[in-house]
Structure 1
Amino acid sequence: MALPHAAPAQPIDVAPLGAALHGTLSSALFKSQGLEVMRLVLPAGKTQPPHKVEGEITVHCIEGELELSVLRDGAEQRQRLRAGQLCYLEGGVVHAVTGIVDASALVTIVLKR
């Protein structure tokens, strides 16, 4: 069964979840031919394991605090993202995301054809 996605021109609520964060799962918000947007929910201590995607991505921390770990040329770089901060990554970069404080983020992926 396919996940429901927003239709073109349909408003999507991406406000902080607040107290509802603990009962909310990560979800895809929409996917088109060239773009995918997801809400990533990471409780403190939970990690999205190292992975990569072909297209460029952004990670916009909506609430809480995240640690973004990036592997470049065999060296790991770590960045903290707090609510309101956004980070851009080139396509093909191995990265992981960990919740430092219960957090949610908007993740945008440019899909390569």
Structure 2
Amino acid sequence: MALKHSHPLEVIDLHAMDHSQGTAVSSSLLKTPHLQLMRVVLAAGQSLPEHHVPGEITVQCLSGEADVATPSRTCRLVPGCLVMLPAAEPHCVQAHRDTVLLVTMLHH
């Protein structure tokens, strides 16, 4: 089954819940040939292992608190903060509290 992605000019609820579980879930919200938006939900203490993506990305904290770490720097994100990562930059994410992140990826 294909993921349901939003369409241009469709309003996206960044705080949408999985009504069957009563919790927010990670999901791909929008995908075009040049852009992808993802909502990443991490429980306190949960992490994403080091990885990289081909294009530039931004990681914005919607709620909670998390570190985005690269080989050269660690950035603490709290609600309202974002960080931009260059293309192919290795990074990992560590949630300190239950966290929701909005990740924007540019595709070439």
**Is the TM value for this pair above 0.5?**
yes
CA distance in 2, matches of 1:43, 1:12: 22
Question: What's the CA shift string for 1:37-70, capped at 9, x where partnerless?
Answer: 0001011110111100010000000001011011
- Quote the sequence identity (%): 38
What letter is aligned with 1:56?
Answer: E
Contact in 2 for aligned 1:16/1:104 (Cα 8 Å)? no
Q: Which residue of 2 aligns with 1:58?
A: 58
1:87 aligns with 2:83: yes
State the number of aligned residues. 105
Relative to structure 1, is the Cα distance of residues 16 and 64 closer, same or farther in structure 2, using a 3 angstrom cutoff? Answer: farther
CA distance in 2, matches of 1:103, 1:93: 22
Normalization by structure 1: what TM-score? 0.86
CA distance in 1, matches of 2:5, 2:107: 16
Q: Which runs of 5+ in 1 are unaligned?
A: none
What letter is aligned with 1:106?
Answer: L
Q: Which residue of 2 aligns with 1:10?
A: 10
Higher strand share: 1
Q: Which runs of 5+ in 2 are unaligned?
A: none
> How much has 1:24 moved relative to structure 2?
2.2
Higher helix share: 1
> Runs of 4+ in structure 1 displaced over 4 angstroms?
none
Contact in 2 for aligned 1:57/1:110 (Cα 8 Å)? yes
